[in-house]
Amino acid sequence: MTRTLTTPRLLLRPPRPADAPRVQALCGNWNVARMLGRVPYPYPDGLAESWIAEQGPEQQNGSATNFAMEHAGELVGVIGIERQKNGDNVLGYWLGEPWWGQGLMGEAVTRIIRFAREDMGVTKVVATYLADNPASGRVLAKCGFRVQGHGPLPCLARGGEMDGVTTVLHLGTVNEAGPAP
């Protein structure tokens, strides 16, 4: 299973079954769900349990590495890297609305990028965000991501495609210094 990572204010750990009610409650918030591609709204019963159950096999086959984000002892969000069939390593994350604007996501992204480079051997990370979510764009820009393009992105909660932004961060090889995450 995925190891545990830390930042000054966060514990990043493997998701566990006991997290399901909290995931459902936080992702069931329209303000969170409407900014995510693969999260439906309303958030259905059982979806969090299914997602958590998939984490062990996805970790073992190398297709995804996800972490539950804990702040002050409670789950506040999720962050991870997913390897796509085309070879891209895609960063994904969400943060519960009560913790927006506190710099927690920047802290988590910085740490997960270091993990991707040092532990996974990743040399490039892609991240997308919806154009009407400039806060996510600011987090990525502060962490060194650069805009690569614009185009439609899926948004289950809104029932279709929305204007989106694709960003990329080149990390170099594992033996190079790379950007300072």
**Segment 70-92 mean pLDDT:** 96
Question: Do residues 52 and 21 make contact, with C-beta atoms less than 8 angstroms apart?
Answer: no
pLDDT tops 60 at residue 23 = yes
pLDDT tops 70 at residue 135 = yes
The fold for domain 5-170 equals Aminopeptidase (3.40.630)
Nearest-angstrom CA–CA distance, 164 and 128: 7
Selected residue with higher pLDDT from 82 and 180: 82
DSSP state of 159: T
- Output the pLDDT for position 3: 86
